[in-house]
Homo-oligomer: A and B are copies of this chain.
Amino acid sequence: MGIADDAVEIRARGWRTLASLHGLIDAALEKDLTTEVGLSVVEYTLLDALNRQDGWHMRMAQLARATALSPSATTRLVTRLEDRNLLSRVLCADDRRGIYTELTPLGHELYQKAKPIHDATLERILKQAEEQPELAPLARILHEFSLA
């Protein structure tokens, strides 16, 4: 009984810590990326996902999964980036329902410019989180462990 309650409490604490650290990092990335290169966090996440598939296409559903977004939000996100000429939609012949997306040269270029900013902010915030008692344990784990 007491043990089970403890487990519940530990999970709840852990979740609060996770949410808090996530909010902290997300807000910092959002601020820095928008001011420096005009990208929101999800926009960067999408470019990053496309870039890690170097040279290869991704379908809308994959992008939705990578960004943790709904299909509709993904549609509009891709539309926004397409309007800025950062990526292009490519109809694929074998399944005419599906839509591939790929980075344009401009999109690749902007990503290269954004990545160091992203990485620097991430390092800065994690370092800062390690000095905050509630966040330190989790932050330290992200900093040091491979997690996969």
Tell which of A17-25, A80-88, A91-99, A103-111 binds the partner: A17-25
Chain A interface residue number, banded: 35 or more
Say if the beta carbon of A113 comes within 8 Å of chain B: no
Say if the beta carbon of A119 comes within 8 Å of chain B: yes
Seen from chain A, the residues whose Cβ lies within 8 Å of a Cβ on chain B are 8, 10-15, 17-27, 45, 68, 118-119, 122-123, 126, 133-134, 137-138, 141-148
- Picked from B20, B68, B134, B142, the residue with its CB within 8 Å of the CB of A68 is B20
Q: Is the CB of B134 within 8 A of A11?
A: no
What B residues does A17 contact at CB under 8 A?
147-148
Closest beta carbon of chain B to A113's beta carbon, Å: 16
Listed A/B pairs (8) with beta-carbon separation below 8 Å:
A8-B119, A11-B119, A11-B126, A14-B147, A15-B122, A17-B148, A19-B22, A138-B141
